[in-house]
Amino acid sequence: MGKKRTRTTRVILAAGGTGGHLYPAISVADVLTNNGAQVIFLVSNKGIEKQILEQHGYPYLEQRISGFMGGSALSKVRSLYSIMRQSLALMGVVRKGDTVIVFGGFVSMPAASVAILKRCPLYIHEQNAVMGRANKLLSKYARTVFLSYPRTQDGGDKHHVNSKFIVSGNPIRNLFSNIQPNHIPAVRPEGHTLNILVLGGSQGSRFINNLIIDTVFHIANSEQGNSGATGTTGATGATGAIGRIQVMHQAGGKLYDEARQGYTRGYSRGNTGNTGTTDGTDGTGKHIHVETGVPPNEPAPRNAPISVHVVPYIDDMFSAYEWSHLVVSRSGSSSVFESLQACRPCIFVPFAKAIDNHQYHNAEFIAHAGAGVILTESDATPENLINSILAMVNSYDSIVSKLATIEIKNSSEIIANHIFPK
């Protein structure tokens, strides 16, 4: 464990590329700052880090560096060159006596390399249930490796057990702990609304966007085909007696226009037999209503059986989770721990091309407890998603109870107080 200081100590946090790497680092930085440390972030110059860190008031240095995994041989050579070049640039930034903590991903390598050369205390946090290549390589030089999951694999299917590794959980934003569990009555009254939050990660997911669009119109078609026979309101044709459905769909900044156009194409193909619009006009009487743009704290209620609010990004994630009954999401580690701490049942659709299939293993942490569902991309059809939603609705309170039994660690405190105690 770190020792108490007689002077201000600087802690360098290398994190970024995605919100999944950055937000845990910010949570740790908040505690480190309260403990009296001076912090500085090393991030990539290609993501959302600048905007987020400026909102939080933390100093940062952008790095011109590219990822190593998944590219061509030439791109790998370029990546190695950029790591070496950035490492040399950091020789004048990282000082002997600094403490360095890295949160995985390609942005970690230069900071960790310089920390090793200058014999600075090096710490690692591994977000995922399978240790990433960079963290696995660096772990032999680290004082401590903090793990998000109790059974974290090192990429060779061996679970870590020695004293260097501490299970800390994944430090997410504290605001999620203030969200109260939701409830769906076993007998749902007429007009009951099911609120579904859709998340594709901080960068969005084309696969999830298309899945949700297809599912929404599949439900609308079922409603159209059954409304005459049943005379009831709600997506009864496709999902049983769920009632009305409201969807808040975070499509991702780069994929937002494409998703919005996808809903428009659904209308133009005549999928619902109606004239629903995506321009935010009144959808009363239509089977589906779609709105676009900046989300309010929660979507406005509509008379249409299905109401969708599609947005590029949700800044107020607290309100989004609080509003929701259940979540459809990728299973990056932050998404897994956010849904856990918010006590919201989640249908996880792991990214099939994630390195070492780590998103699938992340989701297993909750699914094995009977508190969530994994729907692989190969199985993620509108029909299977609808069936998963219906099954979750019918067992909702039981699933929420199982979520509540999973231990939630005070991860930020564990990590920060280990590195830099008060």
Residue pLDDT, tens place only, 41-73: 999 887 678 888 998 999 999 987 765 555 667
Assess if residue 1 is contained within a domain: no
Residue 321: pLDDT over 90: yes
pTM for the predicted model, two decimal places? 0.85
The verdict on 212 and 343 lying in the same domain is yes
The verdict on 192 and 338 lying in the same domain is yes
Assess if residue 91 is contained within a domain: yes
What strands, in cross-sheet order, belong to the sheet with 193-199? 288-292, 306-311, 244-250, 193-199, 326-329, 346-348, 372-374
The verdict on 121 and 197 lying in the same domain is no
Assess if residue 289 is contained within a domain: yes
Assess if residue 125 is contained within a domain: yes
The verdict on 370 and 296 lying in the same domain is yes
The verdict on 401 and 413 lying in the same domain is no
Q: Is the dihedral of CA 90, 95, 96, 97 positive or negative?
A: negative
The verdict on 45 and 133 lying in the same domain is yes
pLDDT value at residue 8: 64
Mean pLDDT of 278-299: 56
Residue 172: pLDDT over 50: yes
The verdict on 230 and 167 lying in the same domain is no
The verdict on 126 and 143 lying in the same domain is yes
Alpha-carbon distances, residue 10 vs 46, 55, 121, 142, 152 (angstroms): 25, 21, 11, 17, 29
The verdict on 149 and 183 lying in the same domain is no
Domain span including residue 225: 177-405
Residue count of the chain: 422
Can you tell me the distance from the alpha carbon of 410 to that of 328, in angstroms, rounded to the nearest whole number?
A: 25
The verdict on 168 and 53 lying in the same domain is yes
Can you tell me the distance from the alpha carbon of 151 to that of 154, in angstroms, rounded to the nearest whole number?
A: 10
Assess if residue 5 is contained within a domain: no
Assess if residue 130 is contained within a domain: yes
- Tally of domains in the chain: 2
The verdict on 202 and 127 lying in the same domain is no
Most confident of 103-107, 193-197, 226-230: 193-197
Chain mean pLDDT for the chain: 83
Torsion of CA 220, 224, 229, 231, to 10 degrees: 70
Mean pLDDT of 166-181: 87
The verdict on 168 and 184 lying in the same domain is no
Assess if residue 3 is contained within a domain: no
Mean pLDDT of 75-82: 76
Lowest-confidence pick of 237-241, 296-300, 368-372 = 237-241
pLDDT value at residue 202: 74
pLDDT classification of 385: cutoffs 50, 70, 90? very high
Q: What is the CATH number of the domain that holds 310?
A: 3.40.50.2000
189 or 35: whose pLDDT is higher? 35
Can you tell me the distance from the alpha carbon of 4 to that of 210, in angstroms, rounded to the nearest whole number?
A: 52
What strands, in cross-sheet order, belong to the sheet with 60-63? 60-63, 38-44, 10-14, 99-102, 122-126, 144-147, 165-167
Assess if residue 35 is contained within a domain: yes
Tell me if 76 sits within 8 A of 43, measured CB to CB: no
Lowest-confidence pick of 112-121, 175-184, 209-218, 357-366 = 175-184
The DSSP-derived string for 232-259 is: --SSHHHHSS--EEEEEEE--TTTHHHH
pLDDT value at residue 161: 55
300 or 93: whose pLDDT is higher? 93
Based on its alpha-carbon atoms, the radius of gyration of the chain, rounded to whole angstroms, reads: 23
